[in-house]
Structure 1
Amino acid sequence: MAWDWNRRTCSRRGHVTYAPTEPHLNERLRTQTALGEAWRCLRCGDFALGGPGGSGRAQDAPSVPRGKALRDRFILRLLAVERLVRGVLIVLIAYAVWRFSNSQTAVQQLFNHDLSLLRPVAVHFHYDLDNSPIVGSIQKTFSYHRSTLVATAAALLAYALIEIVEGFGLWAAKRWAEYLTVVATAAFLPLEVYELTEKVSYLKVGTLALNLLAVVYILLAKRLFGLRGGAAAFEAERQGASLLEVETSAGEAPAGDRAGSTA
């Protein structure tokens, strides 16, 4: 069974009805039932009991996302949630790095103390702490200058803010956010590929695949950077759907189809 984005959205958010002032459209959108008047939903096309949600000229009818537009918005909002979660996590990491830069000596002393306590246990289990790659990586961070750690925290915070801005923009379906997401994500793809050459992990592979799919999808679906007709084709598609919203819901064919049928 095909997924009906229109009806499923209406089941969650309710119907969107509108009473155009043009008599012929008003008659087609309105019907009388034994339970009272009903108006056709501009999203799913079904009749809903009760008065219209708004009224005015057909060209002023609300632009209601339908079908493919609803699917695209759903996908973008999934990406938005992923960007927001990632942004918050990076903010926490940046804060941890900053805190570490302010108490680096104390943390090092605590680590050395705990390491001394763990050494007998490690010897018992035949684990060489002195040559452990994990211990070596931690000890290496103690050699970093405070200015380096502060700069790292600032860079992480800037990256996190970009992710959070992307998330809010994608959730609101802003076109500038789509450009920002494509540019920012593509800029970090070489780094992600380089990390895979150093060490392969399922998380790194999954992140790279997700970012690649996100870039390709947004580029093609939203016609960015001139692809598939560019901004002009995107605006024409969106405006055309908006202008025909009432007429389509009323069951009338677009002007081009009517002309073809009379030829």
Structure 2
Amino acid sequence: MKWDWDRRTCSRRGHVTYAPTEPHLHDRLRADTALGEAWRCLRCGDFALGAPHGTGKATDAPLVPRGKALRDLFILRLLAVERIVRGVFIVLVAVAVWEFSNSQTSVQQFFQDNLTLLQPIAAHFHYDLNNSPIVGSIQKTFSYKHSTLLITAAALLGYALIEIVEAFGLWAAKRWAEYLTVVATAAFLPLEVYELTHKISYLKIGTLLLNVAAVLYILLAKRLFGLRGGAAKFEAERHSASLLEVETSAGEHPQAAQPTK
């Protein structure tokens, strides 16, 4: 079963109708029914009862995403959700690092006291806490300088800000956000590959594959950096998706559609 992005979107958000002032287009997009006038939706092509949502010249008609453009918008918003979740998580980590930098000594003392209490329990289960990689990693953080922790917290906040800006830009389908996402994501790919050479995990592999797929998709689908015709071709594709412009260029009557309530 083929997924109809246009009609499914209209079922959630409602139809988008427009009355062009050009007589030949006005008559082709309007229909009289027993229940009153109906106008053809710019997104799905069905007729919707009631007055049009806007009127004016055909060139001033709203560009309504439809078909492939709707699918692309859905994918961009999935990426936006992933970016905002990641950004919020990084902010929380940055706050934790900053809090730790201000109470490093007390946290270290608390950890050492509880580590001493856990020694008998660990020994009972034949687990050597003194040679534990997890315990060793935690103890290593206590040797970091206060200034180093502050720099780390600031760097994390900067990274989180980039992720959050990307998220809002992608949600609004802004072209600058697509460029930012590609550049920022690609810049961290070598680091992710380097981490895999030290320790492989399903999470790291999944994250790497997701980021590579996101970069390739946005590059090709949005024709960034001149690929596949660049911005000019992308804008032409967007405009050709407008029902009014398709009908104008075709010079023929659209296929009949049934009025809908």
Indicate the RMSD between aligned Cα atoms, in angstroms.
1.5
Q: For structure 1, which runs of at least 5 residues remain unmatched after alignment?
A: 259-263
Asked if the contact 1:87/1:163 (under 8 Å) is kept, the reply is yes
Deviation of 1:232 after TM superposition, in Å, equals: 1.8
User: 1:112, 1:17 → 2: CA distance?
Assistant: 69
Superimposed CA distance per residue, residues 181-206 of structure 1 (whole angstroms, 9 cap, x where no aligned partner) = 00000000000001111111111000
- State the match for 1:182 in structure 2: 182
Matched, 1:29 2:25: no
Deviation of 1:237 after TM superposition, in Å, equals: 2.0
Asked if the contact 2:239/2:245 (under 8 Å) is kept, the reply is no
Q: How does 1:66-215 map to 2 (within 5 A)?
A: 66-215=66-215
Identical-residue share of aligned pairs (%): 79
Asked if the contact 1:95/1:153 (under 8 Å) is kept, the reply is yes
User: 2:30, 2:40 → 1: CA distance?
Assistant: 7
Q: Which amino acid aligns with 1:48?
A: A
Q: How does 1:217-228 map to 2 (within 5 A)?
A: 217-228=217-228
- State the match for 1:12 in structure 2: 12
User: 1:126, 1:20 → 2: CA distance?
Assistant: 80
Superimposed CA distance per residue, residues 40-91 of structure 1 (whole angstroms, 9 cap, x where no aligned partner) = 1010000001111111111111111110000000000000000000000000
Deviation of 1:116 after TM superposition, in Å, equals: 0.7
| TM-score normalised by L of structure 2 | 0.94
Q: For structure 2, which runs of at least 5 residues remain unmatched after alignment?
A: 254-261
Deviation of 1:254 after TM superposition, in Å, equals: 2.6
Deviation of 1:238 after TM superposition, in Å, equals: 2.1
User: 2:145, 2:194 → 1: CA distance?
Assistant: 25
- Higher normalized contact order (CA 8 Å, seq sep 6+, divided by chain length): 2
| TM-score normalised by L of structure 1 | 0.93
Asked if the contact 1:25/1:247 (under 8 Å) is kept, the reply is no
Aligned length, in residue pairs: 253
Q: Which amino acid aligns with 1:222?
A: K
- State the match for 1:246 in structure 2: 244
1:208 alignment partner, SS class: helix
